[in-house]
Amino acid sequence: MVWVGFVTSIIPLLEGAFPFIPSFPSLPPLAFWGNSRKKEVEKRDDSGIMSTGGERMNLLPNAESAVIPDEKLNGYALNPEREPNKAKAFQEALGYNLSNSDSLKDNIRSHLLNFEAIEKPDNGYGKRYDILMTLTGANGRTANVKTAWIVDKKTGETRLISTYVTKKRFKEVP
């Protein structure tokens, strides 16, 4: 995979520099060549399925306007008095705590379109989705973070309902 990354970065430098080097068609972004589920998104159809340059993945509906309530981070996930294990995991794995919860919120939001949303059964309040994402935290370390979402049946709002650091890994994409 390193060779592919090298080729995709060197070709634009070589094109036109030497008459014997042909022009190459645009290659997909390096994320497409890797073995993680992270993909560069090209376009979404009406069903919420996105094309990723050959593969399709289901993305969180209304991801661009998804709500991440402060109380889900400050009141639960990062609160050592309410959820000591979750708070400790976020602090140790990614360097997030109550003092930098806005950075975690921004990090989650900026990665919503990079990972597949797995639909879960409707619990009567709306469609639910899980997203397993890889985040690089405030401390520069990387960890997998599971986020759970609901598309509220009454309001149509897409909202975070839970998040935690996990050791779960992505399944290989065939």
Domain ranges of the chain: 1-34, 43-166
Identify the sign of the CA torsion 125, 58, 114, 84. Answer: positive
Cα separation, 118 vs 129, in Å, equals 5
- Tokens describing residue 117: 């949303």
Q: How much is the pLDDT for 168?
A: 83
Q: How much is the pLDDT for 27?
A: 35
Torsion of CA 65, 70, 162, 129, to 10 degrees: -10
Which residues of the chain are under the pLDDT cut of 50?
A: 1-47, 49-54, 172-174
Q: How much is the pLDDT for 171?
A: 57
Instruction: Give the pTM.
Output: 0.68
Q: How much is the pLDDT for 55?
A: 60
- Residue type at 48? G
| Extended strands (E) in 36-125 | 43-44, 49-51, 56-58, 117-120
From residue 78, give the alpha-carbon distance in Å to each of 69, 123, 136: 13, 26, 16
Cα separation, 114 vs 41, in Å, equals 7
